[in-house]
Structures are given as C-alpha cells and as structure tokens.
Structure 1
Amino acid sequence: MNEFLMIFRRDFETEDAQPSPISLEKHLQEWQEWYSNLAAQNLLVQPLRRWDGSGKIVKKNKSVINGPYAEIKESVGGMIVVLADDYEEAAEIAKDAPILKLGGNVEIRMAVR
C-alpha cells in the first residue's frame, strides 16, 4: 500500500457559495461518517488537518505576497493521508469525499519513497 495525500479545495470566500448553517451541520456529519469509514478500513494514515484561508507566497524574486492564490477564489480547506494501492484506488476513495457535494475538488498526490 502507498500513502496518498488528499487536498480538499473549494470556494471559501464567495458568499453565495457558502452553505446555510443547517446544510453545514449536515455536511460536517457526512465528513465524520466518511472519516469513520476510512478509519474502520485502516485506510486513514493522517486525519483531517484544517488550514486557514489566508497564507503567504514567496516568489522567485523573494517578494512575499498574500496567498494562497490571489487570482482564484478556490483555496485549501484541509487534507488527509490515506492508504491505497495506486492512483486509481485513491481516486475511488476520493469520489466519496463530502467536499464534492459543495462544488469542491480533491487533489491527490502519492508519497515518493
């Protein structure tokens, strides 16, 4: 089994893209169920880590700008590390990620040994 980083992204800034409090509560329950399912299958290497919506970017010329990506609305909301045989299996796991229901996406990266 290989370790795969799953990075969850969505629009956390645009007011119209935010779920209602009731929808958010249901959404958080879906995350808990998804994590519990991954943990029960011994696929969860590292649990969710949430990241703030701001950040900094250091450019080649050593200038520092506000980030993560000023030109796009989408930002990282969290990440986990899971076990899977290959990218195809990792993608199947990611297809059940609750972030997809809010219009987000999951970036998958395999750890290099």
Structure 2
Amino acid sequence: MPGMSPEALQNSMQKWMDWIGGIAAQGKLVDRGNRLANEGNVVRPSQVVTDGPYIETKESVGGFIMVRAGSLDEATEMAKGCPILFAGGNVEVRPIIRM
C-alpha cells in the first residue's frame, strides 16, 4: 500500500488479522485465501488469450477467503466486518456450487 506510514500499515494489517481471526475462532474459516496479483491472462472464446485483467477496469477481485456458513445470509453477516469496506472497497459473497 503505497503512501501508508509503517504505523498505518500495521494498523490496517491488524484489522485484517482480527477480522479473519474472529471468523476462525468461530470454526467457520475454511481457507484464509490470499491477495491476487494484478497481472495475469484472460482466455476468451475461440481460445483467444490476452494479457490482463487490468486495474483500470471498473471493479477487480483483489483477494478471497472461504468461510463455512449455514446460509448466504450468515456469510453476508460475516462479510460486513471486512476491513476493505472501511477503505471504500466492497465484498462479494457467493456460495460454492459443489458438483
């Protein structure tokens, strides 16, 4: 996070660790996930491969975690504590479809 002081960076990291730790303490953390890199490739129909995705897009996925929840509503409640919300970001909550 460019421009953040060491203290602000430590404070931000502590908020993330507290949020994820709280979910883990409830036994509901499946995978703490990770941040995603900015670079990559996009595969399109007809096997066309381009570089990207690009941060200039309106929205991008910056990372993920997986939680165990009894319902979409329960997972959504957990997401309400995500620190990214206090930095202007948003959280997308989706169920996993197991085949």
Name the TM tier (shorter chain).
Answer: 0.7 to 0.9
Q: Which residue of 2 aligns with 1:96?
A: 81
RMSD: 2.1
Cα deviation digits, residues 58-104 of structure 1 (max 9, x gap): 11132212222465153222111101111111111000001111111
Q: Which residue of 1 aligns with 2:4?
A: 20
When residues 58 and 110 of structure 1 are mapped into structure 2, their CA distance, relative to the original with a 3 A threshold, is: same
Cα deviation digits, residues 22-63 of structure 1 (max 9, x gap): 433211110001111111100101113221111110111322
Runs of 4+ in 1 over 3 A off after TM superposition: none
**Which stretch shifts more, 68-77 or 97-106?**
68-77
Report matched runs for 1:15-54 at 5 Å: 20-21=4-5, 22-54=7-39
Bigger RCO of structures 1 and 2 (CA < 8 A, at least 6 apart):
1
Matched-pair identity in %: 42
Gap regions ≥5 residues in structure 1 = 1-11, 13-17
Partners of 2:81 and 2:3 lie apart in 1 by: 19
More helix by share: 2
Gap regions ≥5 residues in structure 2 = none
When residues 38 and 30 of structure 1 are mapped into structure 2, their CA distance, relative to the original with a 3 A threshold, is: same
Partners of 1:106 and 1:44 lie apart in 2 by: 16
Normalising by structure 2, report the TM-score.
0.83
